[in-house]
Amino acid sequence: MPCCESISNLIVGPCGTGKSHLAQALGHCAIRQGVDALFITQGDLVGSLHAARATGSFDRRFRQLAKVSLLLIDDFGLKPLRSPHDEDFHDLIAERYERVSTMLTSNLDFTEWGDVFPANRMLGVATIDRLRHGAYRLILEGESFRALRPLPESSKNTVAKGAKNTHS
């Protein structure tokens, strides 16, 4: 899966299947080859643009994000994009389109990506169209690597080792 051409890489699958881990590993590999890369969650990405708008540095921050050679956006669709974040996200993807590489991870199936843009479906269609065009798509399946560990059995409800139960 090439990561440093001007294309998109899309990694989808259930929680805990290694999407973020894989994206970080590919980003690390790119950096070791001299490629400028940034790993950021969708929430932090739109939050940083929002904060930059509030401080008058939006254009500078937008240009930084638009030109990074490999932008790895984690947890796409974890939270729906509301205005103006949906517009900022679209503008960033449109600016990066066919110029530099973008990688997304998402818990959502590709058919659910339109739901990320509840306020402006057409904006979502345009954004997703750019992301999916020529993209390498990797679909992870299976159980979460974050499987629950069994709790130790105890006859008392202790809060910590050596704690006393005061609710008798």
Asked whether residue 27 is domain-assigned, the answer is: yes
Reported as half-sphere exposure (CB side, CA atoms, 13 A), residue 70 has a value of: 24
> Burial letters for 42-58: b for 16+ Cβ neighbours within 10 Å, e otherwise?
beebbebbeebeeeeeb
Specify the residue for token string 């954004």.
127
List pLDDT tens digits, range 32-79: 999 999 999 999 999 999 999 999 999 999 999 999 999 999 999 999
* Count of domains for the chain: 1
CATH number, domain of 21, equals 3.40.50.300
Any domain includes 156: no
Residue 111 lies in a domain: yes
Is 42 within the bounds of a domain?
yes
Domain assignment of residue 52, given as a range: 8-139
Res 161: pLDDT:
56
State the average pLDDT for the chain.
89
CA 64 – CA 74 distance, rounded (Å) = 18
Q: Does a structural domain hold residue 149?
A: no
Determine the pLDDT at residue 2: 46
Beta bridge partners of 162: none
Q: Encode pLDDT of 80-116 as tens digits.
A: 999 999 999 999 999 999 999 999 999 999 999 999 9
Span between the terminal Cα atoms of the chain, in Å = 60
| The overall pTM is greater than 0.85 | no
